[in-house]
């Protein structure tokens, strides 16, 4: 018998399908499905009794990632401020997930979208983005996300009236989405039991917005931990090594971050694999980095000290596969 089954017999983990169906809601637009994602207890990754590890299942957003939240917030805030009009085109740089989110929200709300991406971003993300009707402009793969930022800024400077440029790395609506949503949802679910929040750093919106909300509500009772790659040449797509990158303007760790963990690529990849094998959660490597950070915290705690640690599952692992290209015409 497997370790997971020995600890938790199937009969003890049956789902109430009827209750789940009753909780389903009717919505007017796909964007109304963004947020309110579930928390999943990861009992098989917990190192000892008394330490709980929970994960926010952000892959259950309609665009498949945590980036749906800031994309919707930046677009709706832009419309409300008069910065985005029907005559303008949304443009931003992205390494993938925010691009999918922009594309979904823009399509649902009736806006045209152009994205600047490094040419070596995974084929899956390119094809998903194009499926929404978004146009992609490719930057040098050797320059990574920083090269995409620079090229996007050049395009905007050349035709400023044409574009709505939310700039996810500098836009306070990015962390605001998590301040208003993610942080509130975690507190509603776990309340005073929460002791730690762990998230990877890309744009830094997730850790900054969620961290501010948690600190506002719980103060020093909650530790906020940011995870970044330990080296400039890393394999954690979507995360930034701050010492070698253009630092996002919204990254202000002094506001709420108690600790920064430098994460090796191998450790994050190994934990992502464990999540699939031991919890049935096939997630991306940025999720693996957050999970690895949570496990490190759990193992470092003094013996007997209880803890309730929350991290973020940013997206699914199948986003990193190369799918079959969609074809409009077939020969039978």
* Integer angstrom CA distances of residue 281 from 192, 210, 268, 319, 330: 27, 23, 14, 13, 35
User: How would you label 160-195 residue by residue, b for 16+ Cβ within 10 Å and e otherwise?
Assistant: eeebbbbbbbebbbbbbbbbbbbbbbbbeeeeeebb
Q: CA 17, 19, 25, 26: dihedral to nearest 10 degrees?
A: 70
Q: Which of 67, 126, 215, 240 is catalytic?
A: 67
Q: Which of 65, 145, 173, 286 is catalytic?
A: 286
CA distance 103 to 267: 32
Query: Residue 286 catalytic?
Result: yes
SS3 content of the chain, % helix, strand, coil (to 5): 50, 15, 35
Q: What is the sign, positive or negative, of the torsion defined by CA atoms of 187, 226, 33, 271? A: negative
Query: Residue 67 catalytic?
Result: yes
| Number of Cβ atoms within 10 Å of the Cβ of 116 | 24
CA distance 178 to 202: 14
Which residues are catalytically annotated? 67, 286
């Amino acid at each position: 018998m497997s370790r997971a089954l020995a600890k938790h017999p199937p009969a003890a983990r049956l789902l109430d399908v009827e209750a789940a169906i009753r909780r389903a809601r009717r919505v007017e637009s796909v964007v109304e499905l963004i947020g309110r994602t579930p928390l999943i207890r990861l009992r098989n990754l917990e190192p000892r009794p008394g330490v709980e590890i929970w994960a926010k299942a952000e892959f259950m957003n309609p665009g498949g990632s945590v980036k749906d939240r800031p994309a919707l917030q930046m677009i709706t805030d832009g419309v409300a401020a008069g910065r985005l009009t029907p005559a303008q085109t949304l443009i931003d740089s992205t390494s993938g997930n925010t691009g999918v989110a922009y594309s979904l929200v823009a399509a649902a709300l009736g806006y045209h979208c152009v994205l600047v991406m490094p040419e070596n971003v995974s084929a899956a993300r390119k094809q998903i983005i194009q499926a929404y009707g978004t146009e992609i402009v490719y930057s040098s793969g050797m320059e990574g996300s920083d090269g995409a930022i620079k090229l996007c800024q050049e395009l905007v400077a050349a035709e400023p009236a044409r574009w709505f440029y939310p700039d996810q790395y500098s836009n306070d609506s990015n962390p605001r989405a998590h301040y208003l949503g993610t942080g509130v949802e975690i507190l509603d679910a776990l309340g005073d039991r929460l002791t730690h929040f762990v998230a990877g750093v890309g744009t830094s919106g997730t850790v900054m917005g969620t961290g501010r909300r948690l600190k506002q509500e719980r103060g020093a009772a909650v530790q906020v931990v940011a995870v970044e790659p330990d080296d400039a040449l890393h394999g954690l797509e979507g995360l930034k090594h701050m010492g070698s990158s253009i630092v996002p303007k919204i990254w202000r760790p002094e506001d709420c971050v108690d600790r920064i963990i430098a994460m090796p690529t191998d450790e994050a990849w190994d934990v992502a694999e464990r999540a699939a094998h031991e919890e049935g959660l096939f997630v991306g490597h940025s999720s693996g980095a957050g999970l690895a950070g949570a496990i490190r915290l759990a193992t470092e705690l003094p013996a007997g000290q209880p803890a309730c640690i929350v991290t973020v599952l940013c997206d699914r692992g199948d986003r990193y596969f190369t799918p079959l290209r969609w074809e409009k015409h077939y020969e039978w």
